[in-house]
Amino acid sequence: MKLIFAPLFVLAGLPLFAAEDLSKPIEALRSVQKEGQGNEAAGKAWQEIVKADAANLPDVLKGMNGANPLAENWLRAAVGVIADEALKAKKLPVETLVAFLKDTQNSPGPRVVAFDLIQRADAKLAESLTPTLLNDVSSDLRRHPVAKLIEAGDAALEKKDKDQAITAFTKGLGGARDEDQIKELTKKLRDLDQKVDLPRHFGFLMSWKLIAPFSNADRGGFDTVYPPEKELKFDASYEGKTTAVKWVDFTSKDEYGKIDFNKPFGMEKSAVGYAAADFLSTEERPAEIRIGCKNGWKVWLNGELLFARDEYHRGAKLDQYKLPCQLKKGKNMILVKCCQNEQKEQWTVEWEFQLRVCDATGTAILAER
């Protein structure tokens, strides 16, 4: 009897063949919160997880699903340690990782980690998976197939096959969500006499009602509640910085959707402006309002303040701030407060913002017309 059972005990003692139950330490990592809450327990749990065998990788990756960004980082670091050992021992469970990647019910973060691991273990396999990721919910994963399509288009151009190049670049642009790739593809397509509608691709809101200037003396206007924050009456007139102010219509001609207060109101300093736009949504849905602005700003959606930022002239870029929100079906009102300060240097002239509505991947959500 003893001799018969002995090999089974030996097998049971080997972690190589069976995943351990890591649910408790994973939960400890998922429980971390702001200001270091849960760090002590997480530190101990992390040590337990990294001792696990590669067979546990899918469980640790699944632990990242829906985790807050801090917990995601705890788990990402643990995956890295387990994977490093598995790669050295050539034991990375590649097939399981492929299945994890393909299951779009998993969160984008761990799926990106899974793809990176597949790439490290088997670059050819990763490349074969790349075309399937063109319309992925992860903008990170989309980069790979978009890059391949750029290469394919360039190769077609080398062979003087303009149509094939246009097809590749157009397909690439359809999948591209990162600004650098969008800019590159736009240039390539325009060089081939193709039209690209960038405001539509990004989902910039181009038409607004604007009112300005209210006073931002001593930067106090940022926290001053002017009438547009209390009511949106587009036929009303209010006391402004020096004279009465009223709403005007403004449509941007900038293909990156810049709404420039200097254009209708002159080069004002120490001034506050407001911009309001309707956004008709076909459904109730989660969304992101993304804003780029180098002035002080606040954004409200349907009367709810989403975020406020009092930094001036340190730079602006596309998607500088991502504001998760919930669109309601039908009319949504977006209100932007844009504050210009007192600085007089040439690089402080801008009094503008750009704003788009999109999903978490960066795919434009277009308003119903």
Partner 1 sequence: MNEAILKIKTPDSVLQTMKTSFVLVFCLHLSSFAFADWLQFRGPNATAVSSEAKVPAETLKIAWTADLPGRGLSAPIVVGDKVFVTSSSGPGQETLHVFCFNAKDGTKKWERVMRTTGRTMTHPKTSVAAPTPCSDGERVFALFSSNDLFAFDLGGNLLWLRGLTFDYANASNSLGMAQSPVVMDGTLVVQSENDSESFAAGLDVATGRNQWKLERPKAANWSSATLWKGAVALQSSKGILAVEPATGKTVWDYTDGASTTPSSVVSGELLYAVSHGITALAPEKGSVTQLWRNEKLNPGTASPLVLGDHIYVVNGAGVLIKASLKNGDELWKLRLKGPFSGSPVAAGKSIYAVNERGIFQTIAPDAPEGKVTQEIELKETVLTTPAVSGGAIYVRSDAKLWKLQ
By CB under 8 A, name the binding residues for partner 1. Answer: 32, 34-37, 39-40, 42-43, 46-47, 50, 69-70, 72-74, 76-78, 80-81, 84, 109, 140, 143, 178, 180, 294, 307-312, 314-317, 320-321
CB of 282 to partner 1, least distance (A): 30
Token couple for 145: 């197939």
**Which one, of 117, 122, 41, lies nearest residue 85 by Cα?**
117
**Which one, of 27, 105, 114, 69, lies nearest residue 324 by Cα?**
69
CB of 242 to partner 1, least distance (A): 27
Token couple for 209: 């009602």
Give 279's strand partners: 332
Token couple for 314: 């340190």
Which of 276/323 has CB closer to partner 1? Answer: 323
Which of 68/237 has CB closer to partner 1? Answer: 68
CB of 201 to partner 1, least distance (A): 17
Which of 232/323 has CB closer to partner 1? Answer: 323
Instruction: Give strand ranges (E) for 180-329.
Output: 207-215, 237-239, 244-246, 248-251, 259-260, 271-281, 285-293, 296-301, 304-309, 321-327
Which of 140/255 has CB closer to partner 1? Answer: 140
Which of 233/317 has CB closer to partner 1? Answer: 317
CB of 120 to partner 1, least distance (A): 11
Question: SS3 for 153?
Answer: helix
- Measured in degrees and rounded to the nearest 5, phi and psi for residue 270 equal 50, 50
Total Cβ atoms within 10 A of residue 104: 11
In this structure, the chain runs to a length of 369
Which of 33/282 has CB closer to partner 1? Answer: 33
Cα end-to-end span (Å), the chain: 79
Total Cβ atoms within 10 A of residue 54: 22
Which of 43/286 has CB closer to partner 1? Answer: 43
CB of 352 to partner 1, least distance (A): 15
Tell whether the torsion through CA atoms of 333, 319, 345 and 262 is positive or negative.
negative
Which of 85/278 has CB closer to partner 1? Answer: 85
CB of 137 to partner 1, least distance (A): 17
CB of 313 to partner 1, least distance (A): 9
CB of 359 to partner 1, least distance (A): 18
Q: Which residues, at least 6 apart from 295, have a Cβ–Cβ distance to it below 8 Å? A: 312, 313, 338, 339, 340, 341, 350, 351, 352, 353
